[in-house]
Amino acid sequence: MSTYINSLETKFHENTKIPVPLAGESYFHRHQPVKFKVVIEGTTIKEYSATGKIFLTDKRLMFIAQEPLHNFETFHVMLKDVYSSIKSPPPRFKKKKVFSVRINIGDEVLIISLRYKSKNLGDKKIFEDYYSMLVRV
Q: What is the pTM of this model?
A: 0.84
Q: What is the Cα 34 distance to its own chain's centre?
A: 10
Which residues are within 8 A (CB) of 29 and not within 5 positions of it... i.e. 6 or more apart?
A: 54, 55, 56, 126, 127, 130
CA–CA distance, 85 with 130 (Å, rounded to integer)? 18
For 66-85, how does the pLDDT look when each residue is reduced to its tens digit (9 = 90+)?
A: 988 788 999 999 887 776 66
Task: Report the half-sphere exposure of 94 (CA within 13 A, side-chain side).
Answer: 2
In a domain, 4, yes or no: no
Is residue 27 in some structural domain?
yes
Closest CA to 55 of 102, 14, 111, 16: 16
CATH of the domain at 107: 2.30.29.30
DSSP strand pairing (16-19 vs 10-13): antiparallel
> Mean of the pLDDT values across residues 37-53?
87
Domain of residue 109 covers 10-135
The neighbouring-strand residues paired with 69 are 72
Using pLDDT thresholds of 50, 70 and 90, give the confidence band for residue 89: very low
Amino acid 1: pLDDT: 41
The yes-or-no verdict on residue 63 having pLDDT over 90 is yes
Provide the number of structural domains found in the chain: 1
